[in-house]
Amino acid sequence: MIETIFILRHGFRSNFVNANWTNATQTPRDPALTAFGETQAQECAEYFMSLPVEERPTAIFSSPYYRCIQTSKPIVQALGIPLFLEHGVSEWYSPVSPGTGLHPRPPSAAGMHEYFPGLLDESWSSVWYPSRKGEDVGQIHARTAGFLEAFIPEVEKKIPQSHARILLVAHAATVITLTRELLADKVVPLRIGCCTLTELKRKPDAPILGGWTPTLVASGDHLKEGIQRDWGFEDIIVSDDGQVIDDVGLGGPEEDEGPVGCQIQRSSL
């Protein structure tokens, strides 16, 4: 049974400081970390290594975006644990503007192998895919709630090793919604900096949503330079009626968006 969930945002990314950043992969909007971001990721690895062995994460489930895998890499190497990719914790995009196509979607582990040879465990299949048509604020919360209710039982069922402590590596918006849904508090104010860390402990006999006690929330204590580039939902641009502003898609027919939502048969949940 999963007893502890760590949630980590990726490190400082290249497009924060360079408007002409080079795409790290074939996926649009997929910047790499800066050297400073890689340092932050290493500091996360050092933090986890400082914990007693029985308190360290035993597996990582990362968003498939390059910067999240980069952030996971030194932790995997330090702890010697598997790294799985999970689309359910992918980046959040606002709803696409009508007629502009779809948002990008990175490939799964097999497609990212060329960028991270020998690092990714390809045995895991994502339990959830966000819509490439984007999400409003309510929809990303709903996505995260559905994902967690499918994901946690699936890990406990499918992973043969005992993974009582897992690490999710994601993005600011998904870190916020993961934390909120695990606490069953959709409005708790949170601001998430690069490589800040949240830790939640499971309550005995409690439900998945709302059944956790936070021991760390968006902490930067393990980072030498402290919290950088923190973000919260209050930073989004909204329309006059309070809705999140649409974003431009990348072209292509909307019917080609691929899998969406839960990928597990209801009978197995």
Q: Which domains does the chain have, with CATH numbers?
A: 4-262 (3.40.50.1240)
How far is 233 from 143, CA to CA, in rounded Å?
A: 16
The predicted pLDDT at position 242 comes to 80
Instruction: Return the CA Rg of the chain.
Output: 18
The predicted pLDDT at position 267 comes to 42
The predicted pLDDT at position 264 comes to 92
How far is 252 from 70, CA to CA, in rounded Å?
A: 29
Reported as a single tens digit per residue, the pLDDT across 152-207 is 999 999 886 778 999 999 999 999 999 999 999 999 999 999 999 999 999 999 99
The predicted pLDDT at position 61 comes to 98
The residues, ordered by sequence, that sit 6+ positions from 30 with a Cβ below 8 Å of its Cβ are 23, 24, 65, 66, 67, 104, 106
What is each CA distance from 225 to 49, 105, 191, 196, 222, in whole angstroms? 19, 32, 17, 11, 9
> Which sign, positive or negative, has the C-alpha torsion 76, 207, 148, 71?
negative
CB-CB contact of 97 with 87 (8 Å): no
- Specify the pTM: 0.96
CB-CB contact of 41 with 33 (8 Å): yes
Q: 96-121 burial by CB neighbour count: b if 16+ within 10 A, else e? A: beeeebbbbbbbbbebbeebbeebbe
The predicted pLDDT at position 255 comes to 72
Tens digit of each residue's pLDDT, the chain (269 residues): 899 999 999 999 999 999 888 888 989 999 999 999 999 999 999 999 999 999 999 999 999 999 999 999 999 999 999 999 999 999 999 999 999 999 999 999 999 999 999 999 999 999 999 999 999 999 999 999 999 999 999 999 988 677 899 999 999 999 999 999 999 999 999 999 999 999 999 999 999 999 999 999 999 999 999 999 999 999 998 888 888 999 999 877 777 889 999 999 744 44
The predicted pLDDT at position 268 comes to 43
What is each CA distance from 16 to 20, 37, 92, 158, in whole angstroms? 10, 11, 17, 38
What is each CA distance from 217 to 19, 43, 103, 199, 239, in whole angstroms? 31, 17, 30, 7, 30
The predicted pLDDT at position 160 comes to 62
